[in-house]
Amino acid sequence: LAQQIFEQVLAGKRITITAGPTREEIDPVRYLSNHSSGKMGYALAIAAQELGATVTLISGPVNLLPPAKIKTISVSSAQQMHDAVMQTTHDCDIFIGCAAVADYRVQQKTNQKIKKSDSELTLTFIKNPDILSDVAHLANAPFTLGFAAETQNLREYALGKLQRKKLNMIAANDVSDSTIGFNSEQNALSVFWSKGEKKLDVADKQLLARQLMRLVAQRYTEDTN
Ligand code: CTP
Ligand code: CA
């Protein structure tokens, strides 16, 4: 059906997409995470498949069914997501980092449950690897699209990430507006690349994902020809 409706502009292309939150364990019963639902990443995976791509979806813990006929790899922590990505990206054409990866993990995960005591509790966090940046800095880097979740200075921060992480494109969303983005059905995006930008207005995530994937396909085709 998809083949009849969507022009197969990504036929023969391999796309890896990260989606959802990561979960950083503190002790055997507790973890640190965020409100990402995974919907945008899953919608992008479906949109890429509709355009003919072979998709690998690497997903943190979400309440979504794996999309039909899409190879979905489930991971939990940022480190696990990093490992899974590095194993699959060596032969991919396009990489999309849509996951809300935890920037930090606890320095020392305890093997036993932390017991309540009379004193305050202090945890030390250390930085997780930046999955997207590591992919974009590979010698044989695929075409990369990143996301930027911002509560202020959207454009400036997004352009900073585009440059610092050496990305081809970045899609920024304003997460200070709780009616769109994180954990909601709808989203709106400002997409930036080195020579241009495009606003994708508030829409259902599946519709927005289709618009974004068409834009990615366009930019990818122009950049690689
Ligand atoms: N990202 C990643 N690995 C990380 C952190 C972020 O792959 N450890 C990716 C996200 O999937 C997203 C992009 O980097 O595509 C930007 O994530 P974001 O959290 O907005 O930016 P950070 O660089 O982490 O900066 P900050 O959270 O301070 O804004
Ligand atoms: Ca971050």
Which pLDDT belongs to residue 171? 98
Which pLDDT belongs to residue 87? 93
Which atom of ligand 1 lies closest to the CA of 157? 29
Confidence of residue 64 (pLDDT cuts 50, 70, 90): very high
Q: Which two tokens stand for residue 129?
A: 């690897």
pLDDT by residue (tens digit) across 30-41? 999 999 999 999
- Please give the share of the chain, as a percent, with pLDDT higher than 70: 97
What span, in angstroms and rounded, lies between the C-alpha atoms of 199 and 197? 7
Burial pattern 41-50, b for ≥16 Cβ within 10 A else e, equals: bbbbbbbbbb
What is the average per-residue pLDDT within 14-19? 98
Residue 1 has pLDDT above 60, yes or no: no
Confidence of residue 4 (pLDDT cuts 50, 70, 90): low
What is the average per-residue pLDDT within 165-176? 94
Our CA dihedral for 83, 42, 134, 142, rounded to 10 degrees, sits at 110
Q: By three-state DSSP, how is residue 3 classified?
A: helix
Which pLDDT belongs to residue 3? 60
Which ligand neighbours the alpha carbon of 175 most closely?
1
Q: Does ligand 1 have an atom closer than 6 angstroms to the CB of 132?
A: yes
Q: Is 116 left (phi over 0), alpha (psi -120 to 50) or beta?
A: beta
What is the average per-residue pLDDT within 21-26? 98
Which pLDDT belongs to residue 224? 87
Which pLDDT belongs to residue 177? 77
What is the average per-residue pLDDT within 149-175? 95
Q: Does ligand 1 have an atom closer than 6 angstroms to the CB of 85?
A: no
2-224 adopts what CATH topology? Rossmann fold (3.40.50)
Task: Answer for the pair 187, 181: CB distance below 8 angstroms, yes or no.
Answer: yes
Q: How many whole angstroms from 99 Cα to the centroid of ligand 2? A: 10
What span, in angstroms and rounded, lies between the C-alpha atoms of 109 and 88? 27
Distance between terminal CA atoms of the chain? 29
Known catalytic residue at 34: yes
Which pLDDT belongs to residue 175? 83
